Structure 1
Amino acid sequence: MSALTWITVGSLAAWVWLLLGQGFFWRTDVRLPGRTPPAQWPSVAIVVPARDEAEVLPSSLPSLLAQDYPGRAEIFLVDDGSSDGTGDLARALAAEHGGLPLTVDSPGEPGPGWTGKLWAVRHGMALARARTDAEYLLLTDADIAHAPDSLRELVSAARSGGLDLVSQMARLRVATAWERLIVPAFVYFFAQLYPFRWINRPGARTTAAAGGCVLLRREAAERAGVPDSIRQAVIDDVTLARAVRRTGGRIWLGLADRVDSVRPYPRLGQLWRMVSRSAYAQLRHNLLLLAGTVAGLAVVYLAPPVAVVAGALTGEALLLTAGAAAWAVMAGTYVPMLRYYRQPLALAPLLPFTALLYLLMTVDSAVQHYRGRGAAWKGRTYARPEAAP
């Protein structure tokens, strides 16, 4: 057999294993677990870090203000050095819509060794401690819109399951052609790296959260030293979940039904920056891991369509058959995510092209890191962090 045939057979074997042995990552039925309303509703502090979010705040903040929560809840929006009037807009929206109490404050520039978002979260948590006796913290991004019962359902799930951290992967916006091509794949790849079923097993090694929507028990946060213990994290949601689990906390992660991101990414460049800003950090800034990732993506995602074309041209039946089978399994595992995002199933065979884009984004992330630009986001650049004490 030719080298390409061997590679393609290996790709097919990898897809059979991914289909059956990777926690059924491709299924989209991991939603909030069974829950019973508590007899007494605990108080909750909602912490919203916000930097230059005037574009999305009118679509997201009113949904938090309108939460139908039977207990006490208060919102702390932390204006992280915005230049677009985010703080003033938040106050105006609260005056217009009413609802839950809103406090808007600013922490100033991040302290040494802190990423901007975690610095803002730290300030919001400090405000919550000073002004409330909240048992839970809802950490949610400024672009996340919540259904009116979102907080109630999160708290019910946490209480019913004895969970210290409950996180939902918000449904991202999918409106333009580039969003349709890239966004569902983003969640698909995330689930492949962090299968939700594995994460939700007590004591599991696989650990992650989705930073847009995290309900965190205050006692668990204090036990884990959060956020100080993770202050340098660029991928803060996964690092947060690991810190909570490392100190004995129970966590849960799944897909959301009525928690949505309203942030638009209409152009490829915006999506590219969204992925590449943290892709190399995910690989621990390690060139060997980068090389392995590039090789793995090429073998698993790119080899099947190449094999189909080569097999059709050369008449090599085994190459064509193995390539077509691997491509079919790949597309089949992507179908549930496309259904979840209500997208045409015709996009499933295009997953190799999307994977190629993600491969290039990952390489670009490494290139930007070694150019000294690190993880850049909204005017801030984070170089490779040193080990935290």
Structure 2
Amino acid sequence: MRKILFFLLLFVDNLLFAQMNLEKDLDQLLHQRFDKNQAGIAVMVVKEGKVIYKKGVGMANADTKEPLSSQSNFRMASVSKQFTAMCIMLLAKQGRLSYDDNLLRFFPDFEATVGKKIKVRHLLTHSSGIWDYENSLPEERTTQILDAEVVAMLSKETRTYFEPGTTFRYSNSGFCVLEQMVEKASGMPYVDFITKHIFKPLGMSSTRIYEAGKDIPHRAMGYAKNKQGALIASDQSITSATKGDGCVYTSLEDYYKWYNGLINNKLISLEVELKKVAIQLPSPSQGQYGLGWFFQKNETEPLALYHTGSTCGFSNGVLVVPSRKYLFLYFSNIADNHGIEKELISLVKKYNVYDTSFDFLKMVNLTN
């Protein structure tokens, strides 16, 4: 018994020692890479359900000088897609739609040959071949486009990039269509549905969907680097108001609540649904995509979920290993800032905190 107790205490001491050194090295890295008086980053690491790192470095707003913290709300960009997918999963659970419904059920004005072929599951796996709405926007446009206008624009298209369901092509258009599908199937505005069925049940009280002119508490503003490397304001674009593909604003604190909801199946079993809705990614990634997630699983490694988010002023990354209660998360209010991810991962691997052997970094290039 004494030997068991000795080794148990030794294990705990080693774990605490590793955690302290990881915290020290992460602090050093973040302070080296980000100026405390400019835009920056917030990072969280959870191991076996325990938060072992949670800090923000830099400014949420260069004008007001509000510092970044675990409560700062960042624009999620494509990390938002997992929330839109959850709305669809919940509607399927309620019997209000099916993954095999085609577009014509919800949008009878859609061009018939396209609308008949594209199913809900194709949109959820980026395998619809639906046209990229961004390519149809006139260069002189200055007003932000919304999801309903995207659908109206796409409904006139008579072509797809490929036969729906045959291959993977990342599509913001598909998730704009899903946002409108949520409204059609539920009879509620998308913002009301996601708030009632996801944010409130999980206690995500400060999470918001971007709507022009409406307040977002502790909002981090977006920035980018100019040709000289100086940070400039870059918070919005004409494509950054569509809700389904990228409009969630959340914080480390609230995302942790979402993560707990996922791994504990508080809303639905994501792993069960991924068995129904997924597509194999093109080589050499060896992974799959479904329901707003890149994911991998094999005989020796449990399910691991990954996604990034990139927009004019933000760069985000999320990795979840549900069975091991692991979360790796970074939100940056600087555009094109995914290079920091490799450095962060190197540190958590150094201290044996990184809980998967899958390499997801190659999948960043599969998004847009």
Normalising by structure 2, we get a TM-score of 0.32
TM-score by length of 1: 0.31
Whose radius of gyration is greater, 1 or 2?
Answer: 1
Higher helix fraction (1 or 2): 1
